[in-house]
Structure 1
Amino acid sequence: MVNKAVTLRVEKTLSLVPKGSVISYGALADLSGLPGRARLMGKCLQEIKVDCNWHRVLRADGKIAFPVGSDHAEEQRERLLSEGVNVNNNRVNMKKFAWSPDLHTILAKLKY
């Protein structure tokens, strides 16, 4: 079980990722004030009970982390496509779709 305060940080950070954008597990950890804790992000996402836009979180190389053809992978792919994010071979072009928050967002909304 993950500390509730950590889960809340991750949930808040992920809520800032706009529709049509994605973020890597590592970047989510960094922006949540947990540098180097990319693997912890998956555990946090499992504990968040509301629809937290989990589908916007990908591996650093842009791949969907779920096994190809699994129900979760298909759901993530469909959700991303519905937001206008191109998914080819279960991979997203991170240079094109990765969220990069501006300085104001980092300073005003990510207070960790």
Structure 2
Amino acid sequence: MRPFTKKVVEIIADIPEGKVMTYGQIAAIAGSPRGARQVVRILHTLSEKYQLPWQRVLNSKGCIGLPGEMDNFKEGC
């Protein structure tokens, strides 16, 4: 696992219950302030394997990013 990926996984795993972070915040803390899309990809591919709390990671609009087929759930954002 690359150092950035490892750091992102650690940061997401450490988000406490009741708190949230954005993809951009995670990227910046992990050392790549412009790496929000990388964080999205890492979360998408590794959330199940590492039991990451994906629901605590929000996009810049403050919404949980959901796959396109789940558009009906996006009304709350």
Is 1:25–1:42's contact at 8 Å kept on the other side of the alignment? yes
Which ranges of 4 or more aligned residues in structure 1 deviate by more than 4 Å?
Answer: none
Gaps of 5+ in 2: none
The 5 Å alignment of 1:35-50 reads 35-48=33-46, 49-50=49-50
Task: Report the count of equivalent residues.
Answer: 73
Distance change in 2, residues 1:63/1:11 (3 Å) = same
Gaps of 5+ in 1: 75-87, 92-112
TM-score (norm 1): 0.56
Q: Which amino acid aligns with 1:52?
A: L
Q: Which amino acid aligns with 1:58?
A: L
Could you tell me which residue of structure 2 aligns to residue 61 of structure 1?
A: 61
Structure 1 vs Structure 2 CA RMSD: 2.4
2:27 aligns with one of 26, 29, 52: 29
Aligned counterparts of 1:57 and 1:69: Cα–Cα separation in 2: 19
Which is higher, the Rg of structure 1 or of structure 2?
Answer: 1
Tell me by how many angstroms 1:44 deviates.
0.8
The 5 Å alignment of 1:57-96 reads 57-67=57-67, 70=70, 89=76, 91=77
Structure whose residues are more often helix by fraction? 2
TM-score (norm 2): 0.77
Secondary structure of 2:26's counterpart equals: helix
Tell me by how many angstroms 1:65 deviates.
1.5
